[in-house]
Chains A and B, each alone.
Chain A
C-alpha cells in the first residue's frame, strides 16, 4: 500500500511536468471515420441482460439497441420499435417493431428476441444483477423471478406458467406487448437500457449460452449501429459500422477503438502523443489543463455524493445530530480542494440531470448549509446529543471508506472539517471495497462516504433508495410519511400530482437529514480536434453513435 501511495505522489509530480511541456492534442489525422477513445478498463460483462457495469454499458450502447433508444436530450425515441400504442390507463404498451432491423449475421430482429432476453433477465438462477430493479415494473416479472430461483425450479410446471403469464408477450414477429404494474412515466426511456436489449436465442444457444455468450467477439451478435470485430482482452475492443443497421445513414464513424488504459497519466501521454482521440481527466489533470487555457469538456454524470448515516446508532439516530454533521462540511471548499472541477453543491438528493433540471427546480434548495458560520450547527449537535442523553465529550464517530488513495483525500477532508468546525471526535477506517459493502449490509458502520446514480430518467431512480427496508438503504433510515409519498408516487398516473409527491419526499429527506448530502458530480474529458459530435450525459456516459471525424 505504501508503495502505491508513494507512486501516486511521484506520478502527480510527473503529471506536473507533463502539463508544463504538453502540446495540444491533435488526434490522428484524416477524415477516415476512425477514432480511438479510452474506455479505461476491460468491460467485465458484454451480455446485455447480465450486465450491471457502466464500462460495459459504454460498449453495449454502440452494439445493441432496444425497443427504444435515447436521443441527444436523453429522451426516448424509436429504436427497434418504430412506433407504439399506449392504453388509456398507461399500463399496456404495444410495440410495433420495424422489419428492417437486423442482427449483424443477417437475421431479422423479432419480438421473440425480446421475449427471450427478458425471460433470461428475470430467470433468477442466472443471476442478472438488475433483475429485481426491473421486475417491479413489469406485471408478472416478480412472480417469474420467484419461480426460477434454481435451475430445477425453472424447469417446473409453475415456472412454465410464470413464463407464459408474465406481462410481456409476443403477439406476432413484429408486435410485442408489455403490461406494467403502474403507469410509469419514464418507462419508454427505461426500455432503452441495455438490460432490455434483445438477444438472438439461436445464436446465444449455439455459442454456449450463459457461460460463453459474449465472452469473445466471435461469440457476440450486434443489432446496434456497430459490430464488435475484435476484442483483445485488457487491451482494446474494435467496433466497426454495422452495415445491416436500419439507421446506418445516420452513423458517420466507420470504426471505434476502445482502449483500456487505466492509468490516467498514461492515457494523457497517449492523448498528447496524438494516438488517442478522447480521454477522461482526473481532477488534477483537468485543473492543470484549464489553467493553461485549454479546452476541457465536462458533463454531469448523474451521481450524487453524501455521507450515509447509520441511523440505528446512538447519536446518529437523532435528526439534529445528522443535520449538524451535514452542515459541518464546507462543500464548496471540498469541491475546490479535493474534487477540483465543476461539480456543484447539491441542493436536493435528485440532481438536475433528471428531466433536464425541472424536478430539481421544483424542489428548490432544501438543504441548510452553514456558509462559514457554524454556530447553528454546533447548537444543533449539542441539542441532539442532549436529547439522546449522550455527553458531547463521549461522542465519537468513525467514517468507513474504501482503501487506497482515491477516497483518502475525501475522508481526511471530512475528518478535518468536522473536527475543526464542530469539534467532533472522528476516525477514518479504510477497508477493501468488498469488505465495505459487507459491513454496510451488516450495519457495522457509523458513517459511510457513498454515491448514487440513476438507472432511468426520473427522480424515483434516486428517491426509492430511502424506502424503509430498501436493499440499498444501509443506514436503516425510516419515515412512514416518506414511504407513503414515494409508494403513492409509484402508482400515480397524474404527472403533476406525482411530481409534487416526490418534491415533498425530497423535503422530508432534508428535514430529517436522512443523509449528509454534499455534491453533484461533474466529470471532465478532452477530445482531439479530429473528433466531433461526442455526446456524454448521465444516462449516456459515452455516446459516439452520432460522432464524426473531420
Chain B
C-alpha cells in the first residue's frame, strides 16, 4: 500500500508540473496586457510595471523562476491587487473550503437519504417527491437556487417576522452559512440521490439481501447494514468529481451571498489577465484536487476490501 501511495504521489507531482507548464504557457499566449486599462499609460510606465513584476524577462526564464518559487511556496504577487497570491489564497480558501465541506456533507447525507428512501418506497409518493427534488436540483443552476433562497428565506422571512434569521450576505455566524451551503449542495445532492436510488434498487434485488430476509433480519438492519453499504460504492466513486465541482463552482454562490471566498479570484483573474493569480489559483486548486482524488482512492480501498491498493499485474 505504501508503495502504491508513493507512486501515486510521484504521479501527482508530475501532473502538477504539467499543469503549471500548461497554465503558464496558455496564460502568456492570451492576447492582452495585464496592465492595460481604459486610460492609457505610457510605454515607460508599462515597462516599469513589467520590470517590477518580472514580466520583462523571456517567457522561459519567467517559467523557470516561477516553478522554483512555487516549490518554495511563493505564488507571486497579484497585478490587480498588489498583494501576495499566497496571502489572498490563505484568506479566501478557508472560507471556500468550509463552504465546500458543508455543501459536501449536505449533499452526501441528503443524497444518500433521498436515494435510499426513494428506492425503498419505489413507485410511491416518497419516491416521486425525492426524485422531483433530484430533477429540480440537477436542472436549476446553483446561482438561481441561491438567489431564490436569499430572496424568500432570508429577505422575506426577515421582513415578515421582523427578525433576522438568515443574514442576506456574509460568512459570520452559523445562520449565515446555511443557505449558501444548501444552494451549493443541491445539484450534487440531486446527482447523488439519483445514483443512490439506482444502486440501492440493484442491491435490494440481489441474492444476499434475499438471504438476509430469509434469515429473518429486521428490515432496518437489512437496509442500513447490508444494502446501503454496498449501494454506496458508486457514490464514493463520484465524490472526487463532485468535490471538484463544489469547490470550483462556488463562485456564483459566493457572489450571490457576498462571501469573501476564493471562487471570485479563480474566475475573474482570467478576465483581468492577472497572471500570478491565474496560475496561483489554478495550481492551488489543481494540487488540492489531485490530493482529494488520491484520498478518495484510498478511502475506496478501506470501504471495499476487495479493492487492492497495489499494482496488479493481471
Contacts and interface: CB of A to CB of B under 8 A. Distances in A.
Interface of A: 3, 6-7, 10-11, 14, 17-18, 21, 23, 42, 44-45, 50, 52, 124-129, 131-133, 145, 149-151, 211, 215, 232-235, 259-263, 265-266, 269-270, 272-273, 275, 432-435, 437-439, 441, 451, 471-472
A7 B83 contact: no
A132 B41 contact: yes
Contacts of A471: 40-42
B147 A124 contact: no
B51 A265 contact: no
Contacts of B273: 432, 434
A435 B151 contact: no
| Interface hub of A129, A260, A438 (most chain B Cβ within 10 A) | A129
Interface stretch (B58-66, B255-263, B292-300): B255-263
A151 B56 CA distance: 14
Interface in B22-70: 30-42, 44-45, 47-49, 51-52
B159 A272 contact: yes
Contacts of A272: 155, 159
A437 B271 CA distance: 12
Given A132-B41, A132-B42, A272-B155, A235 B147 contact: no
Contact of B82 (A11, A215, A437): A215
Contacts of A132: 41-42, 44-45
Given A129-B37, A234-B264, A273-B168, 16 more contacts: A7-B141, A17-B151, A125-B48, A129-B41, A132-B41, A149-B44, A150-B48, A215-B83, A259-B258, A269-B168, A275-B167, A432-B32, A432-B271, A434-B273, A437-B33, A438-B36
A270 B33 CA distance: 36
Contact of B48 (A124, A270, A441): A124
B154 A260 contact: no
B80 interface: yes
Contacts of B271: 432-434
B260 A232 contact: yes
B17 interface: no
Contacts of B31: 434-435, 438-439
B159 A150 contact: no
B38 A437 contact: yes
Interface residues of B, number: 57
B50 to A, nearest CB: 9
A44 B82 contact: yes
A266 B48 contact: no
Contacts of B256: 263, 265-266
B143 A149 contact: no
A129 B45 contact: yes
B238 to A, nearest CB: 21
18 contacts: A10-B144, A11-B144, A11-B147, A18-B155, A124-B44, A127-B35, A132-B42, A259-B258, A262-B255, A263-B255, A266-B255, A275-B164, A432-B30, A435-B32, A437-B32, A438-B33, A438-B36, A471-B41
B44 A269 contact: no
A282 to B, nearest CB: 15
A439 B31 CA distance: 9
A303 B255 CA distance: 27
B114 interface: no
B194 to A, nearest CB: 21
Interface of B: 30-42, 44-45, 47-49, 51-52, 77, 80-83, 88, 91-92, 141, 143-144, 147-148, 150-151, 154-156, 158-159, 164, 167-171, 252, 255-258, 260, 264, 270-273
Nearest to A3: B141
Query: What are the nearest 7 A-B pairs in CB distance?
Result: A434-B32, A471-B40, A234-B260, A437-B36, A127-B49, A235-B260, A434-B273
A148 to B, nearest CB: 9
Nearest to A133: B39
B66 to A, nearest CB: 18
Contact of A434 (B34, B158, B167): B34
B81 A44 contact: yes
Contacts of A439: 31
Contacts of A18: 151, 155
Contacts of A232: 260
Contact of A149 (B47, B148, B255): B47
Contacts of A215: 82-83
Nearest to A404: B271
Nearest to B148: A14
| Interface hub of B30, B154, B164, B260 (most chain A Cβ within 10 A) | B260
Nearest to A402: B271
Given A472-B39, A472-B40, A128 B45 contact: yes
Contacts of A151: 51
Nearest to B249: A3
